[in-house]
Structures are given as structure tokens and as C-alpha cells.
Amino acid sequence: MNVSFIGSGNLAWHLAPALDNTDYSVKEVFSLHTKHAEALISRLYHAKVKATLDFSESPSRIFIIAVSDDVIPEIAQEMILPDDSILLHTSGSQPLNVLAYAATTRIGVLYPLQTFTKNKKVAFQEIPIFVESEDRDTEKAILHMAGSISTKVFKISSSEREALHVAAVFVSNFTNHMLTISQDIAASHKMDFEWMKPLLVETINKALALGPEAAQTGPAKRGDLEILDRHLALLENDEAVAEIYRVISQHIVDRYDG
């Protein structure tokens, strides 16, 4: 079945070629940034840049919106679609009903649970993909498409997906920000962040092997208030980071106290 993409960002950069290497042929890419669309179609076999959201003469029957969450409803309403089209979004946080005013009743969600960056390869076969639709035939079509690129496909509701997305923010985005803070602290004391990498690898491996709760260590877990106070004193020149340290440490102390 033919597919068209609306969006040419990080997710589309990986998802479109993954589908294009199966029985799903990507025919069109629309983007507000034409150069980005041109870069994406250079990774595809037969795709062309689409200049407008009028897909009434499109050879595709599946249309995947892969854009920023806040513009999904507007894009969906502006699209002109062929009869019996399937329209999907790929957001973790937006509910299914943001597509309710689209020019098709066959709407759904295809949400890959992964962080995507254009210059970092991913193995789609190992990425969990979460699918939602209130129409049984549409759901079946999405499940089939997701199964063509991943061995881990699950059905999920909008409310469950939102909770999953919050959990994923803690795992990925917040963890990465903690690493950025660590790098800043190391740099401010003229230390090499490379020294942290073995610790980081062991921390992740241990959390995966034992479970994160069982793997927790550190002064907050031990309730070592003297060390916590000394760390806060060291951070006193950066009030925002000190507050992050205080809040997270207190949360750990409260969780493991007693």
C-alpha cells in the first residue's frame, strides 16, 4: 500500500525509509520546509515532494502526520484526502480525537516509543510501536503496517499512551538533561566528562538488569544528610541546579526512608 508523509523531521527521517523497505511504498512528502522534504525523499525509492495539503489525487491511501504536536489538529483539518483514506498521527501525547475533524473517518495513531535524531541510526525491529484506532478495519491496517517494521507492536488507548509518554519523558528527556547538568558541572571544575561514561553505562545496565528501584544507590538512598548538605553548598552559585538536586534528593530520601 502506498503511503504519504506530512512532516520531514526526526521521526519521518527514520520511519519513512523503514516503511519504504517493506511492501509499503512512500510516494509523497509534504513539509513546510521544502529543503527538508527534498533531503528526506533522497532516502526513498519513488517519493516526490508534495507542495500542498491537497492529496485528492494522491496515489496513497495511508497518510502519516509526523509534525510537532501543537500543529497536528490544524494540519489534519486542512488536508484534502482521497476517499477511504487512513490518516494517522505519531504523537505520544496527543489523543486520537485531534484527528476528529479530518476529511476521513478512518483515523488512528502509530506511536514508536523511541527518541529519534537524524544522524543516529535506529533498529526499528526492536522499537515498541503503539497503535490506536476506534475502527476495527483501520486498527487492523495499522497493526499490519507496524508489524512490517517492528516485532513489538501493541494496542493502546489515548489515556494509556499519555501516561506512557510521561514515563518516557522521565526515561529519555529528563535523563538526558541530567547528563547535560553533569557535563556542565564537570566543565565548570575543568574535569573531563569522559570520566563519567563508564559510570553511565553501568548505571543503565544495572537498572535494566535489576530494575531501577533495586539498583538505586547514593547518599540520598542512604539518608546521608551531611553529604547532601555539602553537595548543595557546592551548588550554591547555581540556584536552579541546586533546587533540582534538593527536590530529587528529597524524593529519593522519602521513597527509601525506613
pLDDT digit string, tens, across residues 3-33: 999 999 999 999 999 999 999 999 999 999 9
Q: Are residues 101 and 216 in the same domain?
A: no
Range of the structural domain that residue 14 is part of: 2-156
Q: Which pLDDT band holds residue 257 (cuts at 50, 70, 90)?
A: confident
Amino acid at site 157: S
Q: Are residues 136 and 196 in the same domain?
A: no
- Centre a 10 Å sphere on the Cβ of residue 250 and count the other Cβ atoms it contains: 12
Residue that terminates a domain, selected from 156, 178, 194:
156
Query: Total structural domains in the chain?
Result: 2
Residue that terminates a domain, selected from 91, 122, 156:
156
**Measured distance CA(222)–CA(245) in Å, rounded:** 15
Residue that terminates a domain, selected from 91, 126, 156:
156
Q: Are residues 13 and 85 in the same domain?
A: yes
**Measured distance CA(167)–CA(169) in Å, rounded:** 5
Q: Which pLDDT band holds residue 258 (cuts at 50, 70, 90)?
A: low
Pairing of strands 48-50, 153-155: unpaired
What is the domain-level CATH number for residue 32?
Answer: 3.40.50.720
Q: In this structure, what C-alpha cell is assigned to residue 251?
A: 524524593
Q: Are residues 101 and 228 in the same domain?
A: no
